[in-house]
Amino acid sequence: MHVSLITVGKLKRGPEKELADDYADRFAKTGAGLGFRSFKLIEVASGGGLDAEGERIAAKVPAGTAVIRLDEFGPQLTSKALSKDLAKRRDSGLPHLCFLIGGAEGYSDAIRAAYPETLALGPQTWPHRLVRVMICEQLYRAASLLAGTPYHKA
């Protein structure tokens, strides 16, 4: 299964970019042996309003992809539950799973309608730069759990 993260806004440099890139690389390396064939981080430009951002997001989602929107109002999963969910999707033969991070104003109505499945990374509202780091870290943690490595200590 291929995994992607589509995010509104571009990080050019800084500690958040370094952390997100590090965890994305770790997930790609650990996940390769677990059936997660690739991980791609896709950035789309912000601005122009929700509808314009929504069009840019939709243009990057491959056909036949399962999509999960990161949204503070979505259900919350433990790291172990997320790991099990990823494994279940992979084992079902799903070809591609994509996570979305919307812009500062959220998601357009069209994106909400097209991709109703959501996931929250906790009850708080997080800055988009940190959400990128957090989902990349959780993907790496999920792969580490599936691989049986000692990274997850809880």
pLDDT in tens, 119-150: 999 988 888 889 999 999 999 999 999 999 88
Q: What is the CATH number of domain 2-147?
A: 3.40.1280.10
The domains of the chain are located at 2-147
Q: Which residues contact 152 (CB under 8 A, 6 or more apart)?
A: 79, 80, 141, 144, 145
Return the closest-CA partner of residue 133 out of 20, 38, 22: 20
Provide the β-strand partners of residue 120.
76
Q: Is the dihedral of CA 126, 130, 131, 135 positive or negative?
A: negative
pTM above 0.85, yes or no: yes
Return the closest-CA partner of residue 74 out of 82, 86, 63, 64: 82
pLDDT at 154 over 90: no
